[in-house]
């Protein structure tokens, strides 16, 4: 019952049991926050840590997160690794194909700012936020799965503060 009290705003005690009274918006917001379907866009070494986070040891399924291979079924995109100018239009196209509301997590120094390729490489985008809006940045080279889970929790807090209308 403690879980329901935290998730939904009003719980009334009635004789013989408890009744949950809430608004439909609160239920939909709670469901949207706890059922993120993610699409992986792994470009370099950070993708290995991202895949490890989805595997059985760290288990993103416990957060209600399910991997989807198509952008039309996803509402969260992980971008990890070095974004080259040749891949930039593809990232933008996949982001545009996602339905609203959509969220992006930039994972790793290369996705955030170009990483070690920032100064000397002409073909590297200096951060994925120049292409698409990013909601959560997770620094590291590569960031650990625990850092990715922490970023997901931050994204869930951000979603819970949004209004659905």
Assess contact for 128 and 111: CB atoms under 8 A. Answer: yes
Q: Write the CA distances from 155 to 60, 61, 163, integer angstroms.
A: 14, 16, 14
What whole-number distance in Å separates Cα of residue 90 and Cα of residue 112?
17
Q: Model-level pTM greater than 0.85?
A: no
Q: How far apart are CA 46 and CA 35, in angstroms?
A: 24
pLDDT tens for the chain, residues 1 to 165 = 444 445 555 555 656 666 666 777 777 778 778 888 888 888 888 888 888 888 888 888 888 888 888 888 898 999 998 999 999 999 999 999 998 889 999 999 999 998 888 888 899 999 999 999 999 999 998 899 999 999 999 998 898 887 765
Report in angstroms the alpha-carbon separations of 80 from 3, 28, 151.
33, 29, 13
pLDDT (0 to 100) of residue 1: 45
Q: Give the C-alpha separation, 130 to 125, whole Å.
A: 8
């Amino acid at each position: 019952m403690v879980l329901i009290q935290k998730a939904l705003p009003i719980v009334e005690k009635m004789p013989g049991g408890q009744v949950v009274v809430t608004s439909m918006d609160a239920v939909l917001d709670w469901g949207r926050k706890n059922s993120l379907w993610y699409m992986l866009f792994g470009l370099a070494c950070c993708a290995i840590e991202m895949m490890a986070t989805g595997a059985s040891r760290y288990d993103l399924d416990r957060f209600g997160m399910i991997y989807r291979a198509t952008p039309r079924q996803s509402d969260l995109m992980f971008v990890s690794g070095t974004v080259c100018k040749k891949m930039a239009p593809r990232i933008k196209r996949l982001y545009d194909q996602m339905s609203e509301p959509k969220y992006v997590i930039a994972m790793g120094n290369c996705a955030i700012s170009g990483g070690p390729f920032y100064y000397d490489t002409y073909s590297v985008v200096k951060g994925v936020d120049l292409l698409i809006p990013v909601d959560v940045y997770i620094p590291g080279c590569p960031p650990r799965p625990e850092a990715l889970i922490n970023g997901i929790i931050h994204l869930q807090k951000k979603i819970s503060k949004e209004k659905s209308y």
